[in-house]
Amino acid sequence: MHDFFSARRPSTFSGRAMVATSHPLSTAAGLDILSAGGNAVDAALAAVAVQCVVDPLMTGIGGDCFALYAPAGGAVKALNASGRAPAGATIAALNAAGLIDEIPKTSPHAVTIPGAISGWCRLHGDHGSLPLDRIFARAIGYAADGYRITPRVAKDWAAHVDFVAGDANAAALFLPNGRAPQVGERHAQPLLADRLREVAAAGADGFYKGQTAARMVAHLQSLGGFHTTADFAAGADAAHWVTPIQASYRGYDVHQCPPNGQGLAALVILRIMEGFDIATMSEVDRIHLHAEATKLAYHHRDALMADPGECGDLAETLLSDAVITTLRARIDMDRALPPALWDEPEHKDTVYLCVVDEAGNAISLINSIFNGFGSTRLDPATGVLFHSRGSSFRLIPGHPNAIAPGKRPMHTIIPAMLSKDGRVEMPFGVMGGHYQAAGHATFLSNIIDHGMSLQAAMDAPRTFAFGSVLEVEPTLSEETRTALGARGHAIKVVASPIGGSQAIRMTEGLLEGGSDSRKDGMALGY
């Protein structure tokens, strides 16, 4: 029974259709499309388009996306809409440009060809039903006429003022009057409205070809980028369907996009955890186990996961019984082990959403510009804010994730789905950069091992073994923090919430939805 004195909200329930996002205007846009007869893909595209407008530090059309789609009664399939490096992007070329150790997130070389619009148009072309101008109507309206700033967006926006101020074009748009907009204030992005109108009229070609593409290329080249109009033209058809990877967890099948996403790391964590009786563990044991499994999985992520062309049969190998048994044996339940390998750039800014329609079609979609406000490099002619995903490339010859022409970097953004006995039961996802794979494991364990509702599983205190510390939210008790410290964990109480999440659980005639209370959003249905 839900505790109505807890100040926490319960899960949302409906019988026909539902959408869950991290922003109220995004959820409302998706619900509007569902109510107008649109399907899950239509609603997801409406929701993500709105979010690109109203939550610009987290996502945008200058970013990338991944999706899992499950047609009613059909198999789950995965969409890779991550962008590729320009044809001129080589380690030697970047070294000659003065980049030796890493690619700074504000560098034009951190900008791979944005994949989001290619992904949206692929989804719409293959599975959409309503026209794009109808789907984008609310997003276009908010971009042209303005939208009101919500509390969590305002908090995150204010934390990035100094970063945004480093680019005059971004500052002009995102720091009106020299500061971040405050809660309730109005903000608009009229050029973004123009871009959405172009995509609605011409599809992916409206973004990747013609005048808009030429202007984006000219701006990136003015910053020193290797981008060409040919690179952008090739991006129009970059999004493609791939076969998901999966692993079992206590009788359920967990579906993830294959590398270059980090979904494989989530599956490795779950498989390690499955060897322990988590339901009977103390809170301290459970958090410790999750931390140690996370470090083991992320060691292999950072060393091995990259563009699919570099990974071969990596998923099959890492998820094999032999490898998982070996990894489990390395966990000492009495002490924390030092991190093995963790040197990926930090990144946190992403939006995740999911939709289930009346027919039972389900989509799990994630869209990201990598860092807060991406690279901060904004093209003043088109209004496109570019992501910084290429900053995760390595400049180490021979490394699987080394930059190369036409290559995709390792991504942290991962949508997911849960099924049982061949039937999809839940699209879900967890935002929060590095945390996402670890967050998937914790969220599912809360539901499967502890029988929590979706909302309760999201709202539970979070911890994350990040680098040399164990990050914990302040809601975790002092007693538990002390006990974890006694096992060797370096405890860091975070000032900002860890991640965010959405999910919709499907049972016969009933939908249960949850939207993380750490964000502004909600789950709504009818």
DSSP code for 402: B
Hey, what amino acid is at 303? A
Strands (E), 23-138: 64-70, 77-81
Report the alpha-carbon distance of residue 442 to residue 72 in Å, rounded: 27
CA nearest neighbour of 47 among 433, 439, 457, 364: 364
User: Rounded to whole angstroms, how far apart are CA atoms 19 and 94?
Assistant: 43
Which residue is it, tokens 């799990």?
A: 364
Which residue in the block uniquely carries the two structure tokens 């914990």? 472
Per the residue annotation, which of 12, 106, 212, 350 is the catalytic one? 350
Q: CA 207, CA 201: separation in Å to the nearest integer?
A: 10
- Assess whether 442 carries a catalytic annotation: no
The amino acid at 466: F
Scanning 257-320, the segments in alpha helix (DSSP H) are 263-273, 283-304, 308-311, 314-318
What count of other Cβ atoms lies within 10 Å of the Cβ of residue 4? 9
Cα 242–Cα 391–Cα 304 angle in degrees, nearest 5: 50
Task: Give dist(CA 138, CA 146) in Å, integer.
Answer: 11
Structure tokens belonging to residue 478 = 């002092």
68: alpha, beta or left? (left if phi > 0; alpha if psi -120 to 50): beta
C-beta neighbour count of 312 within 10 angstroms: 12
List, by residue number, the catalytic residues.
Answer: 350
